[in-house]
Amino acid sequence: MDGTNYLIWAGMAAAMVGLSKGGLPTVGMLSVPILSLFMSPVKAVVMLLPIYIISDMVGLWLYRKNFSAINLKILVPAGVVGVLVGWLTASVVSDTAVKMMIGLLGVGFVLNAWFKRNSAQAPSPACWKKGMLWGSLSGFTSFISHAGGPPFQVYLLPQKLPKLVFAGTSTLFFAFINLAKLGPYHALQPYGPNELMGALVLIPFALVGTVAGAYLTRKIADDWFFKWVQVGLLAISVKLIVDVIWTQ
């Protein structure tokens, strides 16, 4: 792939990271598959981490007043534990098994939510037990392939938080998780000049995406926002399952 095509596809991947950090969940999960079209998935995951962290900084400012403190108190420590487990088991855990598990969980959650749409369900409160489970799983899958969105959403969506609070909690949670991943990633595959230069070129795409994501999040009606989240979660989950089946 020549330099122009690389910039187009890699820029698209970085912009999707930015859109997710701006408040549009699940979009960023497409970034690793896109970069994997022309580089190894491991290299793609490593190269995108600086993009995630820089986009996080913008997202933190955009959502500095919109987040659920109680959920962050539960999820952040759990997510860091998940990152550590991912680091310690990186050489023995099968990416295929993780993808299939997350895919099935995501599909099951969305279908369950849609079948129960007509039944009036009260919002679920924040829960330490559920938060520790899904938060650690989110940190683990985020470490494996920046795919921590589905477990996070399975935990948070039933709480029916206001749209901006949901988006802000997601942005802040993954900002902490991405910082926690920085040391382990460098230990497993040290950053070289090529990776850092590649990330530097993509920063403008990510920043534009972050601002655009925040703008769209505020403009989309609440009902459509959460429908978007559910449809995105289903699409990503199905893709993970198909990827596993296709590679068998």
pLDDT tens by residue, 129-159: 999 999 999 999 888 777 788 889 889 989 9
* CB contact at 8 A, 161 and 222: no
Q: Which domain holds residue 59?
A: 3-247
| Phi, psi (rounded to 5 degrees) for 2 | -80, 175
For position 51, what pLDDT does the model report?
86
Rg of the chain over all Cα atoms, to the nearest angstrom = 17
The reported pTM is: 0.77
CA distance 173 to 158: 17
For position 214, what pLDDT does the model report?
86
Which carries the bigger pLDDT value, residue 101 or residue 104? 104
For position 16, what pLDDT does the model report?
83
CA distance 58 to 77: 22
CA distance 180 to 80: 6
- Please report, as a single letter, which amino acid is at residue 43: K
Mean pLDDT lowest for which of 31-45, 86-100, 206-220? 31-45
Mean pLDDT lowest for which of 99-113, 147-161, 177-191? 99-113
For position 146, what pLDDT does the model report?
77
Q: What does the pLDDT look like over 201-240, one tens digit per residue?
A: 888 888 898 888 888 888 888 777 777 777 877 887 788 7
Q: Which two tokens stand for residue 20?
A: 């997710």
Model confidence at 67, pLDDT cuts 50, 70, 90, reads very high
Q: Which DSSP helix (H) or strand (E) runs through 27?
A: none
For position 151, what pLDDT does the model report?
87
Number of domains in the chain: 1
Half-sphere exposure of 100 (CA within 13 A, CB side): 10
For position 127, what pLDDT does the model report?
92
Q: How far apart are the first and last CA of the chain?
A: 27
For position 89, what pLDDT does the model report?
84
- Cβ contacts of 222 within 8 Å, gap of 6 or more: 162, 163
